[in-house]
């Protein structure tokens, strides 16, 4: 079973403090992945940019478009700090024993009005074939209409879902799942019941240029509509041992997003 794991930017960084990496959290998660992952199950890991990319991207309005010389300098700066965080994540995973390969989305991604229309698949497919774990991340990208833009980790993963036989996506954040008005975890969200929850889904705390929980859930619902066999799990990355337990025993802690 092919699995995608997304480490939320708000989980591995402090999104309220620029370029603040939570090394202790990342080290723990890396160890849980290393001990919980079955190498016979192809794995791809992605992570958000958190306080590294989002703050600078917001300052320059990179998500909306890149046209002026100042905006292009901002575009390059966002790419640099996003790659900086990616190195820190890769280093933690590698030290824990996960055979990761850093794959830079902006090196090949081409967008049209914020949507990826092309990204190189050969490196990722080759890595998975040889039990290497591709590591992707939220990054900048060239765009036919906007000049340049930001692509979130979910956007990258959504593109890859169309081209890879992934069956499970685990999204780790700073919440125990998607919460209702009473702050209780919603066990399952489907295309059939999403309307009753739309008004209570807010944004994540801190700066996030790619949208909050509503955007995340909406994007993931589109994926399960296109790929009904896919199961997406939004869960708490703050609880020690929970990711390991989820990988080993396939538990469904948090909120499941499914086609039915």
Domain definitions of the chain by residue range: 2-257
Pairwise pLDDT comparison (215 vs 236), residue with the higher score = 236
Q: How confident is the model at residue 202 (pLDDT cuts 50, 70, 90)?
A: low
Closest alpha carbon to 143 in 167, 118, 111: 111
- What would the mean pLDDT of 151-177 be, rounded to a whole number? 96
Least confident of 70-74, 83-87, 211-215, 241-245: 211-215
Q: Which two tokens stand for residue 141?
A: 């990208």
CA-closest candidate to residue 140, choices 90, 212, 82: 82
Share of the chain above pLDDT 90, in %: 84
pLDDT band at 204 (very low <50, low <70, confident <90, very high): low
Q: What is the mean pLDDT of residues 110-120?
A: 98
Q: What is the pLDDT of residue 147?
A: 98
Residue 77 in this model has a pLDDT that exceeds 90? yes
The DSSP letter of residue 109 is -
- pLDDT number for residue 206: 54
Helix axes 50-60, 69-96, angle to 10 degrees: 170
Nearest to 36 by CA among 85, 93, 90: 93
Report the distance separating Cα 40 and Cα 1, nearest Å. Answer: 8
- The residues, ordered by sequence, that sit 6+ positions from 120 with a Cβ below 8 Å of its Cβ are 107, 108
> The whole model's pTM is what?
0.93
What are the structure tokens assigned to 260, written together?
A: 């039915």
Q: Where are the alpha helices (DSSP H) in the chain?
A: 9-12, 23-36, 50-60, 69-96, 122-129, 153-161, 213-226, 242-249
Distances in whole angstroms, Cα of residue 169 to Cα of each of 18, 203, 259: 28, 21, 14
pLDDT at 15: 78
Q: What is the CATH number of domain 2-257?
A: 3.40.1160.10
* CA pair distance 115, 96, nearest whole angstrom: 34
């Amino acid at each position: 079973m092919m699995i995608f794991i997304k480490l939320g930017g708000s989980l591995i960084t402090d999104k309220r403090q620029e370029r603040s990496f939570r090394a202790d959290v990342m080290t723990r998660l890396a160890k849980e992945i290393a001990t919980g992952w079955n190498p016979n199950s192809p794995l791809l890991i992605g992570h958000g940019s958190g306080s590294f990319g989002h703050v600078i991207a917001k300052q320059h309005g990179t998500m909306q478009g890149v046209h002026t010389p100042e905006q292009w300098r901002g575009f390059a700066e966002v790419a640099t700090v996003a790659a900086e965080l990616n190195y820190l994540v890769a280093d933690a995973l590698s030290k824990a024993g996960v055979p990761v390969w850093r794959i830079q989305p902006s090196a090949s991604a081409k967008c049209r009005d914020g949507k990826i229309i092309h990204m190189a698949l050969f490196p990722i497919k080759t890595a998975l074939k040889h039990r290497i774990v591709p590591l992707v991340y939220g990054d900048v990208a060239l765009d036919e209409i906007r000049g340049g833009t930001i692509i979130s980790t979910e956007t990258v993963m959504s593109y890859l879902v169309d081209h890879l036989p992934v069956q499970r996506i685990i999204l780790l954040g700073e919440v125990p799942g998607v919460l209702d008005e009473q702050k209780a975890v919603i066990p399952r969200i489907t295309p059939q019941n999403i309307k009753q929850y739309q008004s209570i889904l807010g944004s994540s705390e801190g700066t996030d240029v790619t949208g909050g929980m509503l955007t995340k859930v909406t994007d993931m619902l589109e994926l399960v509509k296109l790929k009904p066999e896919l199961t997406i799990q939004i869960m708490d990355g703050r609880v020690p041992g929970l990711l390991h337990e989820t990988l080993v025993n396939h538990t469904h802690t948090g909120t499941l997003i499914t086609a039915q």
